[in-house]
């Protein structure tokens, strides 16, 4: 599980999310906002190889627009830093 877990950590780090210590007997991990520490979700360690990066990449627009991520805006800001034009387009399309 170590390699998959590292994949998950790397994938979520790109959008400013860290993995907490294993929750309740292992297998599952809380996802924490790297900006403020708030819990933003959870994930298990049995994803298939390559899946974590794919999922996070596909959710870029959702982080950018604030539909996913912490209310503090950290993930949206990370998305802006990663790809400002795409961030702007996503916010125009999906924003409030």
Partner 1 sequence: MANGPGVPSEMSVIEDAERRGRTGRWPLWRQAYAQGDPLPKLTCRVSRPTYRFDEGEPLPGEYKELLIKMLRHEGERAGNKSFLGLMATCLDIAEALFPTAEAKLLKAEYLAEELKHAIMFHRVAVGLQHDFALRDVPYAHYAFHLPRETWADDAYFHFFVDLNGAFHARDWRESSYVPLAKMSPTVERDELGHSEMGYYFLGEIVSDRRGRELARRLLLKWYPAALDMFGRSDSSNTPKFIHWGLKSVGNAEIREAYKTYVDRKLAALGLEPPDERAHRRFL
Q: Which residues bind partner 1 (CB under 8 A)?
A: 23-28, 30-31, 38-48, 51-52, 55, 58-59, 61-62, 65, 67-69, 94, 96
Residue 61 or 77: which CB sits closer to partner 1? 61
- Helix (H) or strand (E) holding 22, with range, is strand 17-23
* Minimum gap (Å) between residue 68 Cβ and partner 1: 5
d(CA 67, CA 3) in angstroms, rounded, equals 29
- Strand 17-23 relative to strand 39-44, pairing: unpaired
Residue 41 or 73: which CB sits closer to partner 1? 41
d(CA 64, CA 86) in angstroms, rounded, equals 8
Residue 12 or 80: which CB sits closer to partner 1? 12
């Amino acid at each position: 599980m170590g390699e998959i877990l590292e994949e998950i950590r790397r994938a979520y780090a790109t959008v400013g999310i860290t993995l907490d210590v294993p929750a309740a007997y292992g297998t599952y991990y809380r996802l924490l906002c790297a900006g403020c520490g708030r819990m933003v979700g959870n994930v298990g360690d049995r994803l298939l190889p390559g899946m974590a990066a794919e999922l996070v990449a596909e959710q870029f627009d959702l982080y950018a627009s604030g539909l996913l991520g912490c209310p503090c805006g950290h993930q949206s800001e990370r998305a802006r830093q990663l790809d400002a034009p795409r961030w702007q387009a996503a916010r125009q399309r999906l924003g409030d």
